[in-house]
Homo-oligomer: A and B are copies of this chain.
Amino acid sequence: MALEHAILVSLLEKPGSGYELASRFDRSIGRFWTATHQQIYRVLRRMEADGWIAAEDVVQEGRPDKRVYSAAGPGREALSVWLRAPVEPETVRHDLAVKIRAAAFDDPAGRAGLVAEVERHRVVHAALLDRYLAGERRDFPDPAVLDAQQSLQHVVLRGGIEYERMTVAWLDDVLATLHRIG
Protein backbone atom coordinates (compact mmCIF):
# COMPACT_ATOMS: atom_id res chain seq x y z
CA MET A 1 0.00 0.00 0.00
CA ALA A 2 1.42 3.33 -0.99
CA LEU A 3 -1.53 5.73 -1.01
CA GLU A 4 -0.38 6.98 2.38
CA HIS A 5 3.08 7.53 0.99
CA ALA A 6 1.87 9.25 -2.15
CA ILE A 7 -0.19 11.61 0.04
CA LEU A 8 2.81 12.25 2.29
CA VAL A 9 5.00 13.18 -0.67
CA SER A 10 2.32 15.48 -1.99
CA LEU A 11 1.90 17.17 1.41
CA LEU A 12 5.67 17.54 1.76
CA GLU A 13 5.78 19.22 -1.63
CA LYS A 14 2.89 21.46 -0.52
CA PRO A 15 0.33 21.26 2.34
CA GLY A 16 -3.32 21.09 1.32
CA SER A 17 -6.88 19.98 2.10
CA GLY A 18 -8.48 16.69 1.12
CA TYR A 19 -10.20 18.43 -1.73
CA GLU A 20 -6.94 19.92 -3.01
CA LEU A 21 -5.24 16.53 -2.74
CA ALA A 22 -8.05 14.94 -4.72
CA SER A 23 -7.56 17.42 -7.54
CA ARG A 24 -3.78 16.88 -7.50
CA PHE A 25 -4.46 13.15 -7.80
CA ASP A 26 -6.63 14.00 -10.78
CA ARG A 27 -3.81 15.90 -12.42
CA SER A 28 -0.08 15.67 -11.75
CA ILE A 29 0.15 12.77 -9.32
CA GLY A 30 -2.54 10.88 -11.21
CA ARG A 31 0.16 10.12 -13.77
CA PHE A 32 1.48 7.39 -11.48
CA TRP A 33 -1.13 7.02 -8.77
CA THR A 34 -4.90 7.40 -8.86
CA ALA A 35 -7.21 7.96 -5.91
CA THR A 36 -10.74 9.24 -5.44
CA HIS A 37 -11.77 11.75 -2.80
CA GLN A 38 -13.46 8.98 -0.78
CA GLN A 39 -10.22 7.07 -0.48
CA ILE A 40 -8.28 10.21 0.31
CA TYR A 41 -10.56 11.40 3.12
CA ARG A 42 -10.53 7.94 4.70
CA VAL A 43 -6.74 7.69 4.61
CA LEU A 44 -6.28 11.28 5.82
CA ARG A 45 -8.32 10.53 8.95
CA ARG A 46 -6.26 7.43 9.64
CA MET A 47 -2.99 9.27 9.05
CA GLU A 48 -4.02 12.09 11.36
CA ALA A 49 -4.97 9.57 14.05
CA ASP A 50 -1.54 7.96 13.65
CA GLY A 51 0.18 11.32 13.96
CA TRP A 52 1.66 11.15 10.46
CA ILE A 53 0.10 14.45 9.49
CA ALA A 54 -1.15 17.55 11.32
CA ALA A 55 -4.42 19.31 10.49
CA GLU A 56 -5.27 22.97 10.74
CA ASP A 57 -8.80 24.30 10.34
CA VAL A 58 -8.85 27.22 7.94
CA VAL A 59 -11.90 29.48 8.01
CA GLN A 60 -12.74 30.96 4.63
CA GLU A 61 -15.11 33.64 3.41
CA GLY A 62 -17.24 33.06 0.36
CA ARG A 63 -16.42 29.34 0.33
CA PRO A 64 -16.64 26.41 2.76
CA ASP A 65 -14.06 26.13 5.52
CA LYS A 66 -11.39 23.51 5.05
CA ARG A 67 -8.87 21.39 6.94
CA VAL A 68 -5.35 21.91 5.67
CA TYR A 69 -3.01 18.99 6.31
CA SER A 70 0.77 18.96 6.44
CA ALA A 71 3.29 16.18 6.97
CA ALA A 72 4.46 15.70 10.57
CA GLY A 73 7.64 14.14 11.97
CA PRO A 74 6.33 10.58 12.32
CA GLY A 75 5.04 10.80 8.75
CA ARG A 76 8.46 11.75 7.42
CA GLU A 77 9.92 8.85 9.39
CA ALA A 78 7.36 6.38 8.02
CA LEU A 79 8.16 7.60 4.51
CA SER A 80 11.86 7.10 5.13
CA VAL A 81 11.28 3.54 6.37
CA TRP A 82 9.16 2.77 3.30
CA LEU A 83 11.83 4.21 1.00
CA ARG A 84 14.32 1.68 2.40
CA ALA A 85 11.99 -1.31 1.90
CA PRO A 86 11.80 -2.95 -1.54
CA VAL A 87 8.57 -2.72 -3.53
CA GLU A 88 7.60 -5.22 -6.19
CA PRO A 89 7.29 -4.12 -9.82
CA GLU A 90 3.73 -3.01 -10.48
CA THR A 91 0.94 -5.37 -11.45
CA VAL A 92 -0.64 -4.24 -14.69
CA ARG A 93 -4.33 -4.15 -15.59
CA HIS A 94 -4.76 -3.51 -19.26
CA ASP A 95 -8.39 -3.88 -20.45
CA LEU A 96 -7.54 -2.85 -23.97
CA ALA A 97 -5.07 -5.72 -24.39
CA VAL A 98 -7.77 -8.16 -23.22
CA LYS A 99 -10.14 -6.64 -25.78
CA ILE A 100 -7.61 -6.95 -28.58
CA ARG A 101 -7.17 -10.65 -27.95
CA ALA A 102 -10.93 -11.02 -27.52
CA ALA A 103 -11.46 -9.56 -30.99
CA ALA A 104 -10.28 -12.87 -32.47
CA PHE A 105 -13.53 -14.42 -31.22
CA ASP A 106 -15.95 -11.76 -32.34
CA ASP A 107 -17.50 -10.93 -35.71
CA PRO A 108 -16.45 -8.07 -38.05
CA ALA A 109 -18.92 -5.70 -36.37
CA GLY A 110 -17.21 -6.29 -33.07
CA ARG A 111 -13.83 -5.62 -34.70
CA ALA A 112 -15.09 -2.36 -36.16
CA GLY A 113 -16.18 -1.33 -32.67
CA LEU A 114 -12.74 -2.14 -31.40
CA VAL A 115 -11.14 0.07 -34.04
CA ALA A 116 -13.25 2.97 -32.77
CA GLU A 117 -12.26 2.14 -29.20
CA VAL A 118 -8.56 2.04 -30.03
CA GLU A 119 -8.84 5.34 -31.89
CA ARG A 120 -10.53 6.84 -28.84
CA HIS A 121 -7.67 5.68 -26.62
CA ARG A 122 -5.17 7.06 -29.12
CA VAL A 123 -6.78 10.51 -28.86
CA VAL A 124 -6.66 10.38 -25.06
CA HIS A 125 -3.01 9.35 -24.94
CA ALA A 126 -1.95 11.84 -27.61
CA ALA A 127 -3.67 14.61 -25.62
CA LEU A 128 -1.91 13.47 -22.44
CA LEU A 129 1.41 13.52 -24.26
CA ASP A 130 0.77 17.09 -25.39
CA ARG A 131 -0.19 18.11 -21.87
CA TYR A 132 2.95 16.56 -20.39
CA LEU A 133 5.14 18.23 -23.02
CA ALA A 134 3.49 21.59 -22.34
CA GLY A 135 4.01 21.05 -18.61
CA GLU A 136 7.65 20.24 -19.24
CA ARG A 137 8.20 23.45 -21.23
CA ARG A 138 6.41 25.44 -18.52
CA ASP A 139 7.98 23.91 -15.38
CA PHE A 140 11.42 22.92 -16.61
CA PRO A 141 12.45 25.47 -19.28
CA ASP A 142 16.11 25.22 -18.32
CA PRO A 143 16.94 21.67 -17.17
CA ALA A 144 20.51 22.74 -16.30
CA VAL A 145 19.50 24.80 -13.27
CA LEU A 146 17.23 22.42 -11.34
CA ASP A 147 17.61 21.56 -7.66
CA ALA A 148 17.31 17.97 -6.42
CA GLN A 149 13.53 18.07 -5.92
CA GLN A 150 12.91 19.52 -9.38
CA SER A 151 15.30 17.06 -11.03
CA LEU A 152 13.37 14.17 -9.50
CA GLN A 153 10.00 15.63 -10.52
CA HIS A 154 11.40 16.12 -14.01
CA VAL A 155 12.63 12.56 -14.41
CA VAL A 156 9.23 11.22 -13.31
CA LEU A 157 7.59 13.51 -15.86
CA ARG A 158 9.98 12.24 -18.55
CA GLY A 159 8.78 8.74 -17.66
CA GLY A 160 5.20 9.84 -18.29
CA ILE A 161 6.18 11.44 -21.59
CA GLU A 162 8.01 8.34 -22.82
CA TYR A 163 5.14 6.13 -21.71
CA GLU A 164 2.62 8.16 -23.69
CA ARG A 165 4.90 8.35 -26.73
CA MET A 166 5.32 4.59 -26.70
CA THR A 167 1.60 4.01 -26.15
CA VAL A 168 0.56 6.23 -29.07
CA ALA A 169 3.03 4.42 -31.34
CA TRP A 170 1.74 1.04 -30.15
CA LEU A 171 -1.90 2.03 -30.69
CA ASP A 172 -0.96 2.94 -34.28
CA ASP A 173 0.55 -0.52 -34.59
CA VAL A 174 -2.68 -2.04 -33.23
CA LEU A 175 -4.78 -0.05 -35.72
CA ALA A 176 -2.58 -1.16 -38.61
CA THR A 177 -2.91 -4.76 -37.45
CA LEU A 178 -6.69 -4.56 -37.13
CA HIS A 179 -6.84 -3.01 -40.59
CA ARG A 180 -4.65 -5.76 -42.06
CA ILE A 181 -6.83 -8.61 -40.73
CA GLY A 182 -10.02 -6.84 -41.79
A interface vs B, CB < 8 Å? 2, 5-6, 8-9, 12-13, 31-34, 76, 79-80, 82-84, 86-107, 110, 113-114, 117, 120-121, 124-125, 148-149, 151-156, 158-159, 162-163, 165-166, 169-170, 173-174, 177, 180-181
Contact = CB atoms under 8 A, between A and B. Distances in A.
Contacts of A9: 98, 101-102, 105
Number of chain copies forming the complex: 2
Contacts of A13: 101, 104
The binding surface of chain A is classed by DSSP as: helix
A104 B177 contact: no
B156 A125 contact: no
Given A110-B80, A110-B84, A158 B170 contact: yes
Nearest to A160: B97
A121 B5 contact: no
Contacts of A113: 83-84
Contact of A33 (B2, B93, B159): B93
